[in-house]
Copies of this chain bind each other. A is one copy, B any other.
Amino acid sequence: MAARKKSARKKARKATPAASNQQASKLAREVRSQNERMDGVTVDVICATADGVYREIRKHAKPDLAFPVRSLKNVSYSQQRGYFEIGRQKKTRTLTVNTVKSFAQTLRMMGLSKELVENNDFATKRDAYYQSKNWEEARFDEQTESDAVMDDIEALFSVRGVSREQLRFVPDEHGGAVAGQLIVIDPDRETGEVERIDCTRFGSGAYSIPSSVEHLSFETDAAFVLAIETGGVFQRLQSHKFWQTANCILVSMAGVPTRATRRFIRKLSDQCKLPVYAFVDCDPYGISNIYRTLKVGSGNAAHLSQFFCVPQTRFLGVTPQDILDYELPTHPLLDVDVKRAKDALKNDPFFRAHKPWQKALEQLLKLGVRAEQQALAKWGLNYVIDEYLPRKLEQRDRFLP
């Protein structure tokens, strides 16, 4: 594990230090042509699916569509792959008198996706719902219905390696904030002209991640990405330019990271071979909901994990052992915390696969307390910058998996 990380760091350091606009354009062109290839695949898959239905109808047969079942029971976790994978269970929707409306809606939604790809545009779930209001008999009455159809289509195409973002369905949520040793390369959607966005040049502010990040590429010579739970700690590290002294990229997750934030970290980490370290509160929510979701995905959206999770993430802290080592102020675990931790130990394939995590969760339950990352402020507001993080970063092989 340590060896893998070392070589990754080495590669990252070798990456083009202050690449010229020409290099940026070249990188952007590569991503663009990859995306165009992928757009071709997306349209092909949509057309092939629709074509299958059409041919069945012409044969006076009943066409059907088979969607992967989206639930924790249809999920597997392999350490090798590094993320939750959706299983083989399928639910089949056959075109009958009873299903004609939802069948038509599904096809119409696939048509919308094809249109969006062709116009290089995008739609949020809410956009798509309201768009349907002009689909006459195929319009949706409730957004929950159109959301479910979109989720089914996502799951259907994910099996063929097409992501939600490639279907041009984008989230409505805000993205996270980024600061540090990173240049984001963003080609204009119409002209293709490249914008090089230097994340060291935002003063006390930061770069806000867009809803969709598929078209982005990166230049960096940072050594790692630090993914931070709270806005307060992010602002402290950003204002004191921790990214400069530690040669890293700071990402503010603001709680459970949004899809755009996870996809951004994943693409960045993949392209630049950067390790990712998570710095979150020491409680079952920080460990299981935030860290686990970032690293391997979540149960009910396992069909997305292959695109969204960041398997190269490791857990910097705050660990249960830190509570003791740093004599942190704590709060008692709430019932919901205890339940969450016990659930994780019993049912979560990720924690069940990692002994060190089982020990850590058991230690947390035994301590009976939780600690926030800002608890380090007990030793001084900038103790986190001057002491805690440097000490931790000297022993990266001790990070939890």
Contact = CB atoms under 8 A, between A and B. Distances in A.
Interface of A: 121-124, 126-127, 130-131, 133-134, 170, 172-175, 177, 184, 186-189, 195, 197, 201-212, 215-216, 230-232, 235-236, 238-239, 252, 254, 329, 372, 374-382
Nearest to A194: B203
9 contacts: A127-B232, A130-B329, A130-B378, A131-B381, A133-B329, A174-B254, A175-B177, A195-B203, A207-B208
Per assembly, the copies of the chain total 2
A377 B232 contact: no
B197 A207 contact: no
Contacts of A195: 201-203
Given A172-B231, A195-B203, A211-B232, 8 more contacts: A123-B381, A134-B378, A174-B174, A186-B202, A197-B203, A202-B208, A207-B207, A208-B208
A123 B382 CA distance: 10
Nearest to A201: B195
Contacts of A133: 329, 375, 378
Nearest to A373: B126
Contact of A197 (B177, B205, B231): B205
A10 to B, nearest CB: 29
B177 A205 contact: no
Contact of A208 (B126, B131, B205, B382): B205
B205 A184 contact: yes
Contacts of A236: 127
A124 B374 contact: yes
A239 B172 contact: no
Interface core residue of A130, A133, A134, A205 (most chain B CB under 10 Å): A205
CB-CB nearest 10 A-B residue pairs: A186-B203, A130-B377, A208-B208, A124-B232, A204-B210, A206-B208, A195-B203, A177-B208, A172-B232, A133-B378
